[in-house]
């Protein structure tokens, strides 16, 4: 009797990449729920649009690519690749990042760009140098600045009741069923357009207002930034869950948040009038989403522990610099892309010392 021949190890912990992706997607749910609670249906619609578009584009690219592959295994691997969760996760992240009442084609273009250009053109899963969601976000932000900055205020501050049908109508036609335009939706009772807390802070700082004066704006709410603080807290919750599940490395978010804390703390101690507090920085914009769900993307991040710490610290510094000195109110997406670029170099210089190799010897070898 001949036996089945396989290579060792014969056992496996039965972990799967698709399961990992699903877990990360589930961990986003609290944040999405908070978004829904404070900003309405917009993001859910965008997430749906993005997921559908991403799956369609992924399917098209995979079928084109698998034409050259082995026919018999095509069907099996195609469906498997399509539902490995990576495209869905990317699409969900894009949907979360978009302003709730941005037009529908923003989500569509974003997901197509993310899946086709950023992911598949570089070779598909595991081969992309940049985080697809963030690259797509930056592309949209640069190409369609008006649509991409049309953040509405939290529902509680809005003059118009933005229900599901109104949101759908706004996203697909640009007007609510009552005929309000996006601009009108964003206006407060006095007719002034309301921006995100980060945006407001930036604009007011350029007008010469102190942070304290700016904070009096109703958009900041009772604590740090109305709505956003809870959304960030929800993403933090999801992130801690992932760390607990060992789905992501804790070093990256910890190092990122610590670095941001150091930067903002220094700035706040030097000039409290022009610098927002650490808590404001932590709990506004895409801080927690970036820390736990974007920077921890294994494909585009560093792989060694040391490398993860460095990447996190660098991202924290960049986010602070862009928020305080840059042209954009939030800098998470830019910081992530810049860190993605540095990841291979950081990996190169943070290789661990192999067992039985003395550090001096390794250096000498590299010197050669």
Partner 1 sequence: MDSIIQRISQGKFWPFHGGIHPPEQKKITNEKPIRQLPLPKQLILPLQQHIGRQGDLLVKVGDKVLKGQALTQSSNPMAVPVHAPTSGTITAIKKSAIAHPSGMSELCLFIDVDGEDTWRKREICQDVSQLSHQQIIAKIANAGIAGMGGAGFPTHIKVNTKPDINFLIINAAECEPYITADDLLMREHSATIVDGINILDQLLNPAFILIGIEDNKPQAIKALQQATKSLEKINVCVLPTKYPSGGEKQLIKLLTGKEVTSGTLPISSGIVVQNIATCFAISDAVINDTPLLRRVITLTGQALAKPQNVWALLGTPVSYLLAQAGFTRQENTPVANPPVTNPPVIMGGPMMGFSILNEQVPVVKTSNCILAPSKTEMPSAFDNNANEVECIRCGQCADVCPSQLLPQELQWSAKAKDHQQLAKLNLFDCIDCGACAYVCPSQIPLVQYYRIAKAEIRQQQQLDLKAEKAKERFEARKLRLERDKIAREEKHKKAAAARKASMNKKTPEAGAAKSAVAAALARVKAKKAAGKQDSTSTATNNEETKSSSELPIANDEALDDKSQVKAAIARAKAKRLAKSTAVREKAVTNDEETKSSDELLVADEEESKQSNSADDKKAKIAAAIAKAKEKAKAKKAQATELAALSSEQNSEQNSENSSATSAKADDKKARIAAAVAKAKAKAKAKKEQQSNPQPSNEEIK
Q: Please compute, for residue 127, the number of CA atoms within 13 A of its CA located in the half-sphere on the CB side.
A: 11
Least separation, in Å, of the C-beta of 290 and partner 1?
19
Question: Which ranges of 178-304 would DSSP assign to H, the alpha helix?
Answer: 182-186, 197-207, 211-214, 228-244, 251-270, 278-282, 287-289
Contact predicate 157/200, CB 8 Å: no
The residue among 1 and 189 lying less far from partner 1, judged by its C-beta, is 1
Least separation, in Å, of the C-beta of 240 and partner 1?
19
Residues 245-284 within binding reach of partner 1 (CB under 8 A): 249
Least separation, in Å, of the C-beta of 349 and partner 1?
13
The candidate with the shortest Cα–Cα distance to 181, out of 162, 201, 208, 203, is: 162
SS3 129: coil
Q: What is the rounded CA–CA span in Å between residue 78 and residue 69?
A: 11
Least separation, in Å, of the C-beta of 11 and partner 1?
4
Q: Please compute, for residue 159, the number of CA atoms within 13 A of its CA located in the half-sphere on the CB side.
A: 16
Binding of residue 5 to partner 1 (CB under 8 A) = yes
Q: What is the rounded CA–CA span in Å between residue 91 and residue 78?
A: 19
Of the candidate residues 64, 79, 121, 127, the single one contacting partner 1 (CB under 8 A): 127
Least separation, in Å, of the C-beta of 358 and partner 1?
7
Of the candidate residues 3, 206, 208, 327, the single one contacting partner 1 (CB under 8 A): 3
The residue among 54 and 185 lying less far from partner 1, judged by its C-beta, is 54
Which of the stretches 47-55, 91-99, 177-185, 293-301 binds partner 1 when contact is defined by CB under 8 A?
A: 293-301
Burial of 9 (0-12, 13-18, 19+ CB in 10 A): exposed
Contact predicate 111/53, CB 8 Å: yes
Q: Which residues pair with 181 in a beta bridge?
A: 175
Least separation, in Å, of the C-beta of 56 and partner 1?
21
User: Who's near 29: CB < 8 A, 6+ residues apart?
Assistant: 238
The residue among 145 and 352 lying less far from partner 1, judged by its C-beta, is 352
Cis before residue 211, ω within 30 degrees of 0?
no
The DSSP code sequence of 24-91 is HHHHTHHHHHHHHHHHTTHHHHHHHHHHHHHHHHHHHHHHHHHTTS-HHHHHHHHHHHHTSSHHHHHH
Length of the chain: 368
Binding of residue 363 to partner 1 (CB under 8 A) = no
Of the candidate residues 17, 79, 165, 173, the single one contacting partner 1 (CB under 8 A): 17
Binding of residue 301 to partner 1 (CB under 8 A) = yes
The DSSP code sequence of 140-198 is HHHH-HHHHT-PPPPGGG-SS---HHHHHHHHHHSB-TT--BHHHHHB-TTSPBP--HH
The candidate with the shortest Cα–Cα distance to 138, out of 318, 325, 330, 317, is: 330
The residue among 229 and 347 lying less far from partner 1, judged by its C-beta, is 347
Binding of residue 19 to partner 1 (CB under 8 A) = yes
The residue among 125 and 205 lying less far from partner 1, judged by its C-beta, is 125
**Number of chain residues interacting with partner 1 (CB under 8 A):** 46
Which of the stretches 44-52, 118-126, 182-190, 213-221 binds partner 1 when contact is defined by CB under 8 A?
A: 118-126
The residue among 72 and 269 lying less far from partner 1, judged by its C-beta, is 72
Interface mask toward partner 1 for 44-73; x: CB under 8 A: -----------------------------x
The residue among 212 and 244 lying less far from partner 1, judged by its C-beta, is 244
The residue among 249 and 336 lying less far from partner 1, judged by its C-beta, is 249
Binding of residue 126 to partner 1 (CB under 8 A) = yes
Residues at the site binding partner 1, with contacts judged by CB under 8 A: 1-17, 19-20, 73, 76, 80-81, 84, 86, 124-127, 249, 298-299, 301, 303-305, 347, 351-358, 365
């Amino acid at each position: 009797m001949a036996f089945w021949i396989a290579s060792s190890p014969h056992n496996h912990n039965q972990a799967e990449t698709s399961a990992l992706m699903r877990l990360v997607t589930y961990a986003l749910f609290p944040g999405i729920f908070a978004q829904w609670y404070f900003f309405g249906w917009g993001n859910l619609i965008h997430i749906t649009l993005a997921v559908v578009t991403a799956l369609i584009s992924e399917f098209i690219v995979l079928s084109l690519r698998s034409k050259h592959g082995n026919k018999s295994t095509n069907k099996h691997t195609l469906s498997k690749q399509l539902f490995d969760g990576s495209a869905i996760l990317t699409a969900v992240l894009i949907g979360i990042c978009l302003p709730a009442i941005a037009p529908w084609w923003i989500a569509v273009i974003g997901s197509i760009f993310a899946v086709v250009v950023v992911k598949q053109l570089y070779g598909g899963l595991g081969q992309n140098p940049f985080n697809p969601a963030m690259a797509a976000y930056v592309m949209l932000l640069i190409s369609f600045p008006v649509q991409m900055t049309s953040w509405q205020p939290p529902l509680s501050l809005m003059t118009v009741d933005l229900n599901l049908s109104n949101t759908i109508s706004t996203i697909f036609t640009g007007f609510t069923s009552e005929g309000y335009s996006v601009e009108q939706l964003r206006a407060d009772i006095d007719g002034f357009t309301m921006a995100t807390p980060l945006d407001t802070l930036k604009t007011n700082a350029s007008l010469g207002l102190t942070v304290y004066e700016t904070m009096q704006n109703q958009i900041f709410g009772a604590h740090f930034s109305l709505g956003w603080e809870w959304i960030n807290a929800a993403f933090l919750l999801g992130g801690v869950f992932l760390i607990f599940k060992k789905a992501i490395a804790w070093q990256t978010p910890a190092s990122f948040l610590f670095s941001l804390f150091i930067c903002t703390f220094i700035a706040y101690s030097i000039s409290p009038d022009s610098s927002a507090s650490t808590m404001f920085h932590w709990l506004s914009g895409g801080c927690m989403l970036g820390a736990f769900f974007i920077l921890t993307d294994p494909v585009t991040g560093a792989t060694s522990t040391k490398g993860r710490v460095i990447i996190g610290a660098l991202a924290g510094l960049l986010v602070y610099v862009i928020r305080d000195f840059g042209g954009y109110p939030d800098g998470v997406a830019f910081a992530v892309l810049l860190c993605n670029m540095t990841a291979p170099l950081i990996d190169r210089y943070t290789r661990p010392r192999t067992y039985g190799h003395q550090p001096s010897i390794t250096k000498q070898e590299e010197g050669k």
